[in-house]
Amino acid sequence: MRSLVRSAIVVVSAASLWFACNAIQAYPFIAGQYNATLDCVNPGEVIDVLGGTYVDASCDATCVVPPYDSGVYITGACPPFPQGDDISGTNRLCAKALAAINRHDLCLEAGPSNPAMDAGTTATVQDAGSSDAAQASDASGG
């Protein structure tokens, strides 16, 4: 009789454990940390684990500032966001971080993948194009 009771307890315990494990759902919250020195965003990493079912990662880029470190992160995950994280976008680095991700500038071993051009570089490229057009116009007698 004792072995039957013991077996029943084991079966009930195993079933309870199986149901508990399947009832607990969690997923990683992934974001890339902004590197202010290089003005680019590091590849995504798990910065938190959230309860519930996985959330779609096809939303607009959001600046996330966790309370536990001084990092500024960018994520494409849809809400909900980790509790306590600042998603207001008011951190002084959020605008730069969002600009970096919008130009698809990832931090790679060799440096930024798509660095921002400064105003002088952009003007030089435009001036060179205008100069070529002016020379072509002069050559054609126009």
pLDDT value of residue 36: 95
| pLDDT of 72 higher than 50 | yes
* Domain segments of the chain as ranges: 25-119
CB atoms within 10 A of CB 93: 15
* pLDDT, tens digit (0-9, with 9 covering 90-100), for 4-49: 444 445 444 444 444 554 567 999 999 999 999 999 999 999 999 9
Confirm if 62 and 81 have CB atoms less than 8 A apart.
Answer: yes
For residue 23, the model assigns a pLDDT of 61
pLDDT confidence of residue 2: 52
pLDDT value at residue 7:
42
DSSP3 helix / strand / coil % (the chain, rounded to 5): 35, 25, 40
| Distance of alpha carbon 28 from the chain centroid | 12
CB of 74 closer than 8 Å to CB of 41: yes
Could you tell me the pTM of the whole model? 0.64
